[in-house]
Structure formats: C-alpha cells, structure tokens
Amino acid sequence: MTHDLYPHLFQPLDLGHVTLPNRVLMGSMHTCLEETGDWDRIATYFAERARGGVALMVTGGMAPNEEGAVLPGSAGLFDAQDIANHRGVTDRVHAEGGRIAMQILHAGRYAYSPKAVAPSPVKSPISPFPPTALDTAGIEKQIADIATTAARAREAGYDGIEVMGSEGYFLNQFLVTHTNKRTDEWGGSYQNRMRLPVEVVRRCRAAVGKDFIIIYRLSMIDLIPNGSTWEEVVTLAKAIEAAGASIINTGIGWHEARVPTIATSVPRRAFTHVTQRMMGEVGIPLITSNRINTPEVAEAVLAEGCADMVSMARPFLADPAFVAKAKAGQAARIAPCIACNQACLDHTFEMKVSTCLVNPRACHETELQYPPTDTPRRVAVVGAGPAGLSTALVAAERGHDVTLFEADTQIGGQLNMARRIPGKEEFHGLVDYYTAELARLGVTQQLGMRAGAADLAGFDAVVVATGVQPRDPQIPGQDGPNVLSYIDVLRGDAPVGQRVAIIGAGGIGFDVAEFLAHQGESPTEVPDLWAQEWGVSTPWEVRGGLAEAGPDPVPAARQITLLQRKGGKPGKGLGKTTGWIHRSSLRMKGVTMRGGVNYERISDAGLHLSTGEDRQNPEVLEVDTIVLCAGQLPERSLADRLEGVETHVIGGADVATELDAKRAINQGARLAAGL
C-alpha cells in the first residue's frame, strides 16, 4: 500500500523473515534511562514511541562487558535479571505492535574508565584514560562477549540488534591506522584491520540464528585525519553483508571529529549523499541518518534514492507520534526537533536523564501527563514566548479555555530573535508549530496587546510569562549613539558599524557575534557553503572525508571583539555538546574573544577598558558600535500589580538567571499539567 503524501516513507520494507510497515527507524540514543533502573519508565518510553508508528526502534548502547562500557556501571545484558528487565520493555513494545532492536556498544578507547581496551594504546582526545592494547586472547574475549550479548538480546525478546561499528567506537578503531598500529592478523593491511568487525557480525549471526535482524552501523565518513577511504568503506560493507548483517546503517564522523554532524547549524540531510554513494554496492537495505527531522525531508531522501530507510533519533524525543501524524497528513502537528541538543545530548554528557526542549514529557512519560481536565477553567496566559506558549498549548490540550495575551504582534518572544541567527533557522519550525497548534486548539489570541490587571479580571487563573528585560550594565557613556542593545541589533533595525565590541559573552553575546560576523547566505541553508566552512569533503575524494585545504569560511562581515568581565575563556557556559561549535565558528571568522576586562566608560573613541581589580592597563578599544548583551532581569511589573486572582509567574519573569527555552517550556508544561 502506498501513501499519497509520502509514498516512499510509507512503503513496507521486506527483510525476509519480517516486513517493516514503513521506512522509519528510531535511531539509537543514549538517554541514561536504563541507568535509572526504573524499568516501567523505560518500557513506557519505548511503548509510547512504538504506538506512534515507527517501524523499528534501536535502544541506547548496551555494554557487552565491563571493559567495553562507556562508563563504569553502564547498562548491559549481564545476567538473568537484566534479561527479565529488558523482556519487560520488549513485551510492552510488541503489545503496541512495534519492533525494537538492542544496540550493542563497545566503547574501546572512548570508554571513560581505566579498564578501557583498544587495538593499540593510543589515547583518545575525549577520554583521560589511555587504553590497554588487547592481546589475541583479549580480542577473542571481546568477540565472544558481543556474540553472547546478541544471544541474550534475542532471549530478552528483541527483534534484532544493532552492532555499533561507527562514530569511532571499538570496532571502528580497528579499521584505521590512526588507532590501529598492530602488526598481527588484526592490523596492518585493510583485510586485517577489518577482520574484527566482520568476525563480530559473523559470530553474532551464528549466535542469534537466521530470523533475527542484525543492523551494522558503519562509519561511511570518518571526518578524522587518516580515516577510511571510500574503497575501504565499500569493501567493509560487502564483507559485513556476507557475514550476515540484515541492514547497514550509516555512521557519520567519529566523536573526536572537529566537524559538527548533528548540531542545529548542520544543514538538514547534510550527509545523505554519502549513503547514496553506497546504494547498489550491497544487496541489503541501507539506512541514512543525521539532520533528518521532517516527513518532507525524509520522503525526499528516499525518493531521490539516497537510502532504503531513514533513521531519525532526536525527532522521536520531540514527538513520539511523528510517524502517525505524518501518516494522518498532520505534519504541521509534529513537534519539531530543532537539533539544539540542550535537553538530550547535553544531559547525557552531564550524566542526567535526557528529555527534550520542545517536549518535556520525553523520558518523563510516567510522571508528566496531560490528562483531560474535569473542571475546565478560564485561563489567561500573558506573554507568548516559550514559557507562555507551552502553558497555553498544554492547558488548551487538557480542555481549559485559554486566552493568550502578547504585546508584540506575533507570537514567539525570544524565539523570534533566535531564529534570526544564521545557523538557528530550525527555530522557524518551532514558532510555526506553536502557531498551528494554538489555532487547532482554539486558543484565543490577543496579539499586539499589553495586558493590564483590568484585562485579566474574570479569569480563573492568570499565568504571567512576561519574560525578561535586558540588564542595565550602567557603564558611563552607554546612552551615546554608538551603543545598541542586542534587541536593536537582532531586530535588524539599527545600523551597526564595521568595528564592533560586544559587552557580555553569554548565549546572546555569542549569537550577536555570529549574526554580525555573518554575510551572505547562511551556510546552514547552503550545504556546499557549510562543507567549505568546516572543511568537509567526501571519502571518495580524500581519506576520511576532510578537505585537504581545511576549513574555509566566508570572511567575517565585521571586526568583532566579544568581551566578558570574568577571567578565562568566553563561552564556557554554552551547551556541553555545542559550545565548541560556537567558539570554533567565531574563531574561524577572526572574532576576538577576551575575558577579564573592566568596562570603564564609552566615548566617541570607543570602549575604554582596564584589567584587574586595581583597574590597570587602560586601553581604548576603537570601535564604531558597542552592543550590550549583559544578561537579563525578570520582567515582573504585571505580576507585581495583580491581586485577587490566582496568579502563577513562570519563565524569565520568574527567574531570569540562566533562563533558556528548555527551562521555560518545561516550567510552562508542568504548570499547565496541574491547572
């Protein structure tokens, strides 16, 4: 059966012993859920996604043994109790009509543990622990442990396994001379270097039998110096097929690569041409991956013959019903993953359970629910930024009668500024989503109206989500014509000179620097430009796919200095997994970043600085424009005036410090869940 809107996406995929109903895989994500030990919560998380219609899901990586664990204590299938716990998950998934494969992840030298093992003792730049080189018996043990884990996965009721062979993990480490310096039968020639992954797949197949899915995740572009050539990648793919894999999934870039591969500034479907090159080389289905986040993009990828199936991971945190909504012709209702990493990967790297910026229920399904209300109330929400929008949406979904007041003539609040930054175009989709959902849910919208206390009389509850106002840094001379606030700049209606100083190097200071440094089209919208900016080639042109010339960004439009008072490197407080991208991007464009300065005053000559507590080393930074990005304070003037009505203050109006859309949306949703 085909589907009118997405004929390729909804085409079944015959794997021999089983037929998948569509071409969507929920890719593996490490959410830290398994480490909670709360198996009802884990099963509920996967069951909800199975109900949403995805053809096949892959769990987060399970360790095959102690030495292969990403961290000491990482989850795995080690004993009968583990198997019983996982059986609880697979039963719930199957009860929803879904299918699930378990990923087996051996971290090798990426293990954050003194027990790390690897082909050779080459320390990784992302772990402090030098690995121990395995001897022949040690290698045999790793293969046996992986195969045993595969057999246990079958016992636990999984429909298949995914063997993690990419992203620079253990199996990948054998493939390239960068990490494999061996001279025995496991090193040297490519035939020897690929022996381990091929043997692992062969032994897994022997352990699980024929009627069981084996996905092999194969690094098709390593994005590291001395990575694999395309010829080697194809040779491996053919050998993996011959060894018994059912499907090959695409891995993009090692974790130590200095090229962003999934961040929001990466163009959508930036790497599907790599998988496309493999089409026809093997007879088993190929899955492509990375920055595919709408049914339209997924359909186009399949229609163009880039792959047989698409993998999306984070989009299923944002909306478990992605596939069902696409199938029902309701793509506008899909909560979009904006690829921010703020609540998923950043949490994982902080060893916190993942969730999602746009969907706070993700991984919290058992404790955060939005049941229909028995007592509908008239709810006023003041402010249509992330906090207010989230409240309005959940309250209306539950059946409350919601009126949303917004002083601006459009909804979005700070999201409207974010979406003007080159590289943050995904925020457009988030504002569009809220626009469509508010209309669908019948929320009354009073836009262009600054609500006062009198307007709010008669409501059963008032939610004040009036956001923030810029902090006044009180620098002498800041009232001069050469000083702008970030709001003036990002709204695009203020002239900015060629030489710019930015006061404040937080999230907004970095965004303003990116905005002002930029000229021409956004590389996020033009994949070739983006590839040039980050020095990305292809593995058929150069080993590993890194351009020999290196990164070559479009020169900055202005000369920019980004400043903060505290010492140290600006940008330390940015996202754990994305901060380096912002810093590298600005550095490549020649933006100067300075910490440890005092702002003495501003004059026609520019910004007068000093350093140290005793205000030494006076200097004048000769700039034409100074932009204030000195943080935020709560905007509570309305909240302070409200009396005699149930009032809730949320978002930046509540606490402005370290405010971001993640906290605002979460707070709004949780409040509305209890209204």
Residues that bind ligand SF4 (CB under 6 A): 314, 317-318, 337-344, 356-358
Considering only CA atoms, which of 468, 483, 469 is closest in space to residue 627? 483
Residue 479 has a CB neighbour count (10 Å cut-off) of: 8
Distance in angstroms (rounded) separating the CA atoms of residues 73 and 84 = 18
CB of 250 to ligand SF4, least distance (A): 19
The reply on whether position 535 binds ligand NAP by CB under 6 A is no
Instruction: For ligand SF4, give the closer residue by CB, 362 or 395.
Output: 362
Which secondary structure element, helix H or strand E, spans residue 632, and what is its range? Answer: strand 632-634
Partner whose binding site includes residue 641, from ligand NAP, ligand SF4, none (CB under 5 to 8 Å by kind): none
Considering only CA atoms, which of 103, 207, 216 is closest in space to residue 155? 207
Q: Under a CB-based contact definition with an 8 Å cutoff, are residues 526 and 267 in contact?
A: yes
Instruction: For ligand NAP, give the closer residue by CB, 131 or 467.
Output: 467
The token pair that represents 99 in the structure block: 């299918």
Measured N-to-C along each axis, helices 230-242 and 195-208 cross at an angle, to the nearest 10 degrees, of 20
User: If you write DSSP's letter for every residue of 145-213 in order, what string do you get?
Assistant: HHHHHHHHHHHTT-SEEEEEE-TT-HHHHHHSTTT----STTSSSHHHHTHHHHHHHHHHHHHH-SSSE
Among 246, 564, 577, 625, binds ligand NAP (CB under 6 A): 564
CB of 332 to ligand SF4, least distance (A): 17
Partner whose binding site includes residue 358, from ligand NAP, ligand SF4, none (CB under 5 to 8 Å by kind): ligand SF4
Instruction: For ligand SF4, give the closer residue by CB, 64 or 336.
Output: 336
Partner whose binding site includes residue 564, from ligand NAP, ligand SF4, none (CB under 5 to 8 Å by kind): ligand NAP
The reply on whether position 630 binds ligand NAP by CB under 6 A is yes
| In the complex, residue closest to ligand NAP by CB | 506
Among 508, 536, 556, 638, binds ligand NAP (CB under 6 A): 508
Partner whose binding site includes residue 507, from ligand SF4, ligand NAP, none (CB under 5 to 8 Å by kind): ligand NAP
The reply on whether position 502 binds ligand NAP by CB under 6 A is no
Instruction: For ligand NAP, give the closer residue by CB, 37 or 573.
Output: 573
The reply on whether position 574 binds ligand NAP by CB under 6 A is yes
CB of 344 to ligand SF4, least distance (A): 3
Q: Under a CB-based contact definition with an 8 Å cutoff, are residues 343 and 323 in contact?
A: no
The reply on whether position 504 binds ligand NAP by CB under 6 A is yes
Catalytic (active site) residue 169: yes
Helix (DSSP H) and strand (DSSP E) numbers for the chain: 21, 27
Partner whose binding site includes residue 473, from ligand NAP, ligand SF4, none (CB under 5 to 8 Å by kind): ligand NAP
CA distance to 482, 510, 608, per residue, from 495 (Å):
10, 19, 22
Instruction: For ligand NAP, give the closer residue by CB, 79 or 658.
Output: 658
CA distance to 318, 368, 581, per residue, from 338 (Å):
9, 22, 16
Partner whose binding site includes residue 574, from ligand SF4, ligand NAP, none (CB under 5 to 8 Å by kind): ligand NAP
Q: Which amino acid is at 303?
A: A
Q: Looking up tokens 């004993």, which residue turns up?
A: 79
The reply on whether position 506 binds ligand NAP by CB under 6 A is yes
Instruction: For ligand NAP, give the closer residue by CB, 313 or 501.
Output: 501
The reply on whether position 511 binds ligand NAP by CB under 6 A is yes
The reply on whether position 658 binds ligand NAP by CB under 6 A is yes
With 0-12 / 13-18 / 19 or more C-beta atoms within 10 angstroms meaning exposed / middle / buried, residue 376 is: middle
89: three-class secondary structure by DSSP: helix
Of the residues 169, 433, 486, 599, only one is catalytic, namely 169
SS3 content of the chain, % helix, strand, coil (to 5): 35, 20, 50
The token pair that represents 12 in the structure block: 């079944």
Distance in angstroms (rounded) separating the CA atoms of residues 600 and 597 = 9
628, β-bridge pairs: 485, 503
Instruction: For ligand NAP, give the closer residue by CB, 247 or 629.
Output: 629
Distance in angstroms (rounded) separating the CA atoms of residues 259 and 526 = 16
Instruction: For ligand SF4, give the closer residue by CB, 340 or 673.
Output: 340
Which residues, in sequence order, are CB contacts of 433 under 8 Å at separation 6+?
Answer: 332, 333, 334, 335, 336, 358
Which range in 286-294, 352-360, 442-450, 566-574 contacts ligand NAP by CB under 6 A? 566-574
Torsion of CA 33, 39, 40, 42, to 10 degrees: 30
Question: Between β-strands 461-464 and 646-649, what pairing exists: parallel, antiparallel or unpaired?
Answer: parallel
The reply on whether position 108 binds ligand NAP by CB under 6 A is no
Partner whose binding site includes residue 658, from ligand NAP, ligand SF4, none (CB under 5 to 8 Å by kind): ligand NAP
Instruction: For ligand NAP, give the closer residue by CB, 182 or 347.
Output: 347
The reply on whether position 505 binds ligand NAP by CB under 6 A is yes
The token pair that represents 16 in the structure block: 């021999």
Which range in 20-28, 296-304, 500-508, 531-539 contacts ligand NAP by CB under 6 A? 500-508
The reply on whether position 632 binds ligand NAP by CB under 6 A is yes
Q: Under a CB-based contact definition with an 8 Å cutoff, are residues 228 and 175 in contact?
A: yes
Q: Which amino acid is at 274?
A: V
Q: How many residues does the chain have?
A: 675
The reply on whether position 185 binds ligand NAP by CB under 6 A is no
Partner whose binding site includes residue 461, from ligand NAP, ligand SF4, none (CB under 5 to 8 Å by kind): none
314: three-class secondary structure by DSSP: coil
Report how many residues bind ligand NAP under the rule CB under 6 A: 24
Instruction: For ligand SF4, give the closer residue by CB, 356 or 536.
Output: 356
The reply on whether position 575 binds ligand NAP by CB under 6 A is yes
Which range in 265-273, 492-500, 570-578, 634-642 contacts ligand NAP by CB under 6 A? 570-578
Among 123, 471, 587, 636, binds ligand NAP (CB under 6 A): 471
Partner whose binding site includes residue 338, from ligand NAP, ligand SF4, none (CB under 5 to 8 Å by kind): ligand SF4
CB of 29 to ligand SF4, least distance (A): 8
CB of 506 to ligand NAP, least distance (A): 2
Distance in angstroms (rounded) separating the CA atoms of residues 613 and 630 = 20
Q: Looking up tokens 């000769």, which residue turns up?
A: 622
**Residues that bind ligand NAP in the complex, under the rule CB under 6 A:** 471, 473, 503-511, 564-566, 573-575, 629-632, 658-660
Positions marked active-site: 169
